[in-house]
Structure 1
């Protein structure tokens, strides 16, 4: 009998060629409401613009294998196939001013609630958002995981705060964006846990083409979070850039006297049609109780993506809600390129170098450098297949691994079948 993950994978592969209907189905109700099923999911539209409810989702199934050139490391992949994400998403729009979003991940036992946001859009070019959402930090983190170039984000994502519960105010002009926010804990683990953070991100595009596939993007973000003195330690870590990779090869272990964590992020991107180059650098400083010297860590990446037979990704200044300003959206397919219409789909190549330094003073978390080569295939709308090769090199390795700080090298092949709507 196939496992649950293998069954899900077969379902995705079976749905691949027919997941998106040739023409959207629409049913009109007696009071003027409309029910539509298309590549955006299921949408119920009330008469006029009074209300619109859309239900969508995403399913990501990862599979792969890997090896580590270090005796005694143990199992590299506990499972060769696993569900990475299994989301149901709902979006309710009331008039032109109110947006409500809720996302739930059935594959995540610890943090199933993703976005749970109430947004007000009644002010010109401004969004006020309240709820569980991403803190406005890091271009790589703010790009949807449906649209990332590789299966996983870079090593530097270990410093990104990701989702927490709070309030954010964002605005934008023709080429610039600004978002500022205050956050507490996460909706899944406790709103009053983990202290309080203030996070701000500013971006500017000195060049932006009319079709938004040509852009020069510059950004800066800062975040400062005070940490409670309640005995819960802070730790920073990363594994090879693959979800199925079991052990973390750089890890600070528990920093029990951490009083605050500050982050500074610099980001840049250049895109001309199908070619995009993107880079980030993140500096992280951990303050400590009792007057102990602060700890400083750093990380970053540079990556390039090339769409071989399609258009470049559109640069999106403003989000539908929340904090995802100034990001790159997904690959768009013309009708003739779709496999269901006789085409071959769209192919995209990716190359990335990333590094993470978790060494300072008495903390011996290790230094890791990864090189990732990837191929994306978009056979039809809302469908993506990914194949990545990741070479990870930790020198020295984390003290917590117990290898006497010796070098750890790993080779990973990771694939993903993705369906989203």
Structure 2
């Protein structure tokens, strides 16, 4: 059935349907106005430019609609999906560029009533190869997380993403050279949650590409985040669904951890691309330190996760490697699959196809504490009929050992879950 989660995204759907999905080089450009301004309508959405002063307003967005089904091997478990069809994302994304030095970006998700604000930032690029950013953004951690959700190999990121911090409000400084990047920042809580209430984190990430040519890239990365929290901050938790947004509840979950005084994370990244082939892997270690009580020194809890994934573009070029972003902290990431003009469906072509496979795992058990363990194998096929249109099909087989927080609904015995997910993805 169609879920009620589609209701908050009605406006986003309307905007997406009006967008030039797959517009490619098709462009509608209005005549110059009284001040030289021009309104342009193309694959990037609506763009309004003013030559004097040099100002450009671009209005983009994205619409992700998911449908699927899932089944458990234990008949005593509850229904996996409350809804078989839902809007995963319905974003509006205006970006204002002033001259060469200033960027103001904002992303609002009509499909997420809890945390609708994604990026909300101001960036200054007045120093050579340097970006200073203030606002709500991704903490610089994890190659998979920093890649746009338009461009990830699968419909959802790996289960190891449970250990990755969400977007937070803060200040970051990034710098890039010919084949290396470094970015660091200080972050509070998310803008949608009021900025404070989750302590203060210091995050940093460095990458090196010892091989970086048009046809070949070798990526190495290392990142760390240390967050300190007070007793007045809210509860802390780690959780992860099994490869699909449609699941009613996480399959592994630590539950609320009100005694979290600090959380530290360390991540290592490795990726290699040669032509249409890409392989990518990460390992993430997270440690939670409790508040210390005199006479009762609490023991730290250590969690870990990781993934290995590979993809092959069957009839097109490989994914490009972008060293520096327009703004924010998303340095050194792989971009989406390009659709050449001759291969567009609207030009008589068949589009571009990409196949992918992934193994991922997360372990939330530590020192007698049981948050659960999950291991997934995912197979994926993506079809790009036009530059702004993507259809994704994923098959996921997961093996789950539920934790204490999930025992009331999922029991204590291990189980397996098989999931089929399809996504219609429009972005401009």
Q: Compute the TM-score of the two structures, normalised by the length of structure 2.
A: 0.93
| 1:264/1:2 CA distance change after superposition, 3 Å | closer
Alignment-derived partner of residue 44 in structure 1: 48
Would the aligned equivalents of 1:16 and 1:383 in 2 still touch at CA under 8 Å? no
Output the CA distance in 1 between the equivalents of 2:3 and 2:244. Answer: 21
Output the CA distance in 1 between the equivalents of 2:50 and 2:16. Answer: 34
Q: 1:120 Cα shift?
A: 0.4
Q: Does 1:158 align with 2:167?
A: no
Q: Secondary structure of the residue that 1:29 maps to in structure 2?
A: coil
Alignment of 1:56-95 (within 5 A): 56-95=60-99
Q: 1:263 Cα shift?
A: 0.1
Q: List gaps (5 residues or longer) in structure 1.
A: none
Q: Does 1:20 align with 2:23?
A: yes
Output the CA distance in 1 between the equivalents of 2:3 and 2:147. Answer: 31
Alignment-derived partner of residue 172 in structure 1: 176
> Mean alpha-carbon deviation: is it higher for 28-37 or for 275-284?
28-37
Output the CA distance in 2 between the equivalents of 1:400 and 1:88. Answer: 36
Would the aligned equivalents of 2:346 and 2:386 in 1 still touch at CA under 8 Å? yes
Alignment-derived partner of residue 280 in structure 1: 282
Q: Deviations over 1:177-201 (max 9, x none)?
A: 0000000011001211100000000
Would the aligned equivalents of 1:49 and 1:96 in 2 still touch at CA under 8 Å? no
Alignment-derived partner of residue 398 in structure 1: 403
Alignment-derived partner of residue 321 in structure 2: 315
Alignment-derived partner of residue 272 in structure 2: 270
Alignment-derived partner of residue 244 in structure 1: 246
Q: Secondary structure of the residue that 1:255 maps to in structure 2?
A: coil
Alignment of 1:15-414 (within 5 A): 19-20=22-23, 23-27=26-30, 28-47=32-51, 50-209=54-213, 211=214, 213-230=215-232, 232-290=234-292, 291-394=297-400, 396-402=401-407, 405-414=412-421
Q: Secondary structure of the residue that 1:336 maps to in structure 2?
A: helix
Output the CA distance in 1 between the equivalents of 2:127 and 2:242. Answer: 43
| 1:200/1:14 CA distance change after superposition, 3 Å | closer
Q: Compute the TM-score of the two structures, normalised by the length of structure 1.
A: 0.95
Q: List gaps (5 residues or longer) in structure 2.
A: none
Q: 1:20 Cα shift?
A: 1.7
Q: 1:172 Cα shift?
A: 0.3
Say how many residue pairs are matched.
418
| 1:398/1:218 CA distance change after superposition, 3 Å | same
Would the aligned equivalents of 1:115 and 1:133 in 2 still touch at CA under 8 Å? yes
Q: 1:333 Cα shift?
A: 1.0
Would the aligned equivalents of 2:341 and 2:347 in 1 still touch at CA under 8 Å? yes
Would the aligned equivalents of 2:138 and 2:166 in 1 still touch at CA under 8 Å? yes
| 1:131/1:13 CA distance change after superposition, 3 Å | closer
Q: 1:71 Cα shift?
A: 2.9
Alignment-derived partner of residue 424 in structure 2: 417
Would the aligned equivalents of 2:21 and 2:388 in 1 still touch at CA under 8 Å? no
RMSD over equivalenced CA pairs, Å: 2.2
Would the aligned equivalents of 2:399 and 2:415 in 1 still touch at CA under 8 Å? yes
Q: 1:399 Cα shift?
A: 2.2
Output the CA distance in 2 between the equivalents of 1:266 and 1:374. Answer: 24
Output the CA distance in 2 between the equivalents of 1:260 and 1:299. Answer: 19
> Mean alpha-carbon deviation: is it higher for 357-366 or for 302-311?
357-366
> Mean alpha-carbon deviation: is it higher for 401-410 or for 127-136?
401-410
